Structures are given as C-alpha cells and as structure tokens.
Chains A and B, each alone.
Chain A
Amino acid sequence: MEDIPTQIQFPHLASEISAMREADQNMRKRNLDDDSWEEGLDENNTKRMKEIVHEIGWPSVSKVGADASRASWLLVQHADHDVAFQSHCLALMQELPSGEVQSRNIAFLTDRVRVNSGQPQLYGTQFKQVDGKHVPKDIEDPEHVDERRKSMGLDTLADNIALMELSYPLK
C-alpha cells in the first residue's frame, strides 16, 4: 500500500461534497423527528455527483480527502433512484487500491446495489423491520457472512444488529 499524499487534488470539490452530505444528513435527521422529507434533494445530489464523477472519476482519498471521499460514498448510497449510477460508482471504487477508498464503504454499496437489483446481500449491511425488530435483508451464504464482513473491515453481524437496536430503537 502506498502512502497517500496529504495534499488533496480537488479541495473545492471536497468542500462542495461535504456540504451536500450535510444537507443529506440534516434531512434524514429531521425525518426521524417529524417524518418530513425534502423532495428532490437526493435527486439533485445524485445529479451533481454524476457530474463530479464524470469530471474526476471516483472521489478518492487523494483526490478529495478521507472525509469527502466517505461523504461521496454516502451520497451515492442514497441514490436508490439510480441503481445504474450506484453500480457504476461501485465498479470505480473496486478498481482503486487500498488506501484510496474504505473497504467498508464498498461493502455497504455492494449490498445496496444487490438489494436494489433484487439479489441477496453479501455483507448483511441492509436491514428491514420485522415484528418490531431490525432484521438483515436476505443474505447470500449467511454462514460465512462474518468472514466476509471481517475482510472488509466491518464488525460482526451480531454487533451490527445490536447497534441498530441501540441507534434506532423501535417502539
């Protein structure tokens, strides 16, 4: 693994991506409180992310820094209305060397694309609510899910389920 330069290549895009992430997160926090939803925000963020990805490729750590790179993943993770774009970004992320992209983000987007395409997930990162409990959506080869999670830098599925219960308690 090569050392990542501390200077990022596109600081102006990093600021813009971080601002988009903030709007995304603010909307989702408000939604938890009052069920409100800002129509068009995800679509607008996706449109801008498409332009950015077209311009510079995947916003990797050396291009925009670790924080904005993670924010880019989060914005694409929420682009469920455009699975083709999610798949395109996933492929770009998978091509990058370690150190340029977080493996755990690849795991989350892999599962998102698979679930959005009607396939079982690989890492157990996507959940549904069943009888008042958080339950992972269908998992392929569930016996080995923790091995796959570990290889991507994730904690165990049991920890993830417990964290969901703590973070989003269901009434």
Chain B
Amino acid sequence: MSQEEIFDQVYEKYKNIFPEMLHSSGGLPDTKGVATSDVDISLFHPNHASLAKYFPKDTKIDNSSIDRTIYKLEGYEREVNIYCTDGDWWRNAFLHRQTELALNERYPDLSNKARILKKDLGVSTEMAWAKVLDLDDTYLETLLDVEKVLDIANRVAKPTFSPKA
C-alpha cells in the first residue's frame, strides 16, 4: 500500500478531530526497498503534547523535543508518524513534499540522481536534493519555495552550451 493510500486511511479516521492534517512524507520514498518508508503527517495544535487521548492506547509517543510531539500509530502497513507542533513551521515538511513532487515530475533525471544519493549516503530527501541542486546550508528554507527551486533545477538540468569551433 502506498504512502498516499495510508495517509488517506488515517485522514479518513481522524478528519473530524484533526481536519488540518497534512501529508508530509519525503518525496523520494522507498529507497531502501519496497514499503520501507514511513508515512509522515503534519498537524498544528497548540497543545501538541496532550493529544494522546485521541489516539489508540498502543500509540507510541516521542516527546524528545519541546516544540513538537510525535504520535506513532500502530496497525498500518507502514509506520505512521503524526508530527504535532505549535510552531509556525508546522507546514514546512508538507511544503517540502510539494516541492519534491514537482521536481520528480519535471526533472526525472535529477530525481534519479537524488534517489541514488539518498540511498548511497543515507541522507534525508531534503539533503539529497540540496546536494543535487548545489544548495547551501539554508536548503530547508529554499525548499519551501517551489518556484525558486524549479528555477534552480532548470539551471542545473540545462546542458552547458559548448559551441563548436
């Protein structure tokens, strides 16, 4: 089952409580093998640490960061992580996904490069794209802007013109 299908299942179950859930999995899934990638979901909530009551009792809770809580839902074909935060960056992973999906669609060769880098180096999807597009250490911010990133990708993908003598 794909990440999208599992997200739809989760959304259907919780949409009445959390209608603003966003699918924020990375845009280069399953580089380690079939169905190896998690389903990541972003959720804004002012009391992100106090939502356990809405999820099944066997839900694991990661509260290692003070600004977000991860609820790990059991019983799906892939791991499902709901990242809850009250931070204004709560949509960032979702926006990164939109950028990555647009890159996959328009620049499949670059996407293949990013996929190989992600697999070989073991880095995140964002970092793989940062390397392919030669972004600097502000890459997470850059990847929020799909138009800017597509423009960069266009320059990177464009073959260098070398006039014959």
Question: A residues bordering B, Cβ < 8 Å?
Answer: 1-4, 61, 66, 98-104, 151-153, 155-156, 158-159, 162-163, 166-167
Question: Does the CB pair A153–B50 fall under 8 Å?
Answer: no
* A-B pair number, CB within 8 angstroms: 55
Which of A101, A159, A167 is the one whose CB lies under 8 Å from B123?
A159
Most buried by A among B66, B135, B139: B66
The docked-state distance in angstroms from the alpha carbon of A1 to that of B59 is 15
Interface size (B, Cβ < 8 Å)? 21
Q: How distant is A83 from chain B, measured CB to nearest CB, in Å?
A: 25
The docked-state distance in angstroms from the alpha carbon of A59 to that of B131 is 38
Majority SS at the chain A contact face? loop
The docked-state distance in angstroms from the alpha carbon of A39 to that of B67 is 35
Question: Does the CB pair B64–A156 fall under 8 Å?
Answer: no
Majority SS at the chain B contact face? mixed
> What 20 new A-B contacts, CB under 8 Å, besides A61-B66, A103-B64, A163-B127?
A1-B50, A1-B69, A2-B49, A3-B47, A98-B64, A99-B63, A102-B65, A103-B65, A153-B64, A155-B124, A156-B124, A158-B121, A158-B123, A159-B127, A162-B127, A163-B137, A166-B135, A166-B136, A166-B139, A167-B137
The docked-state distance in angstroms from the alpha carbon of A2 to that of B62 is 14
Question: Does the CB pair A158–B122 fall under 8 Å?
Answer: yes
Which of B64, B67, B137 is the one whose CB lies under 8 Å from A151?
B64
Q: How distant is A159 from chain B, measured CB to nearest CB, in Å?
A: 5
Question: Does the CB pair B67–A3 fall under 8 Å?
Answer: no
The docked-state distance in angstroms from the alpha carbon of A28 to that of B23 is 39
Which of A100, A102, A166 is the one whose CB lies under 8 Å from B137?
A166
Give every chain B residue within 8 A of A152 (Cβ-Cβ): 64
User: Taking A158-B122, A162-B131, A166-B137 as contacts, is the C-beta distance between A3 and B65 under 8 angstroms?
Assistant: no
Residue B6 interfacial (CB < 8 Å) = no
The docked-state distance in angstroms from the alpha carbon of A151 to that of B6 is 25
Chain B, residue nearest A2 (CB): B49
Which of A98, A155, A158 is the one whose CB lies under 8 Å from B66?
A98
User: Taking A159-B124, A162-B127, A162-B131 as contacts, is the C-beta distance between A4 and B139 under 8 angstroms?
Assistant: no
Give every chain A residue within 8 A of B135 (Cβ-Cβ): 166
Which of B62, B64, B67, B123 is the one whose CB lies under 8 Å from A66?
B67
Give every chain B residue within 8 A of A3 (Cβ-Cβ): 47, 49-50
Chain B, residue nearest A66 (CB): B66
Give every chain A residue within 8 A of B67 (Cβ-Cβ): 66
> Can you name 21 A-B residue pairings with CB atoms under 8 Å?
A1-B69, A2-B49, A3-B47, A3-B49, A4-B66, A66-B67, A98-B63, A99-B49, A99-B63, A101-B66, A102-B65, A102-B66, A103-B64, A104-B64, A153-B65, A155-B124, A156-B123, A158-B123, A163-B127, A166-B130, A167-B137
* CB-based closest 6 A-B pairs: A103-B64, A153-B64, A158-B122, A166-B137, A167-B137, A153-B65
Question: Does the CB pair B66–A100 fall under 8 Å?
Answer: yes
The docked-state distance in angstroms from the alpha carbon of A104 to that of B66 is 10
Give every chain A residue within 8 A of B50 (Cβ-Cβ): 1, 3
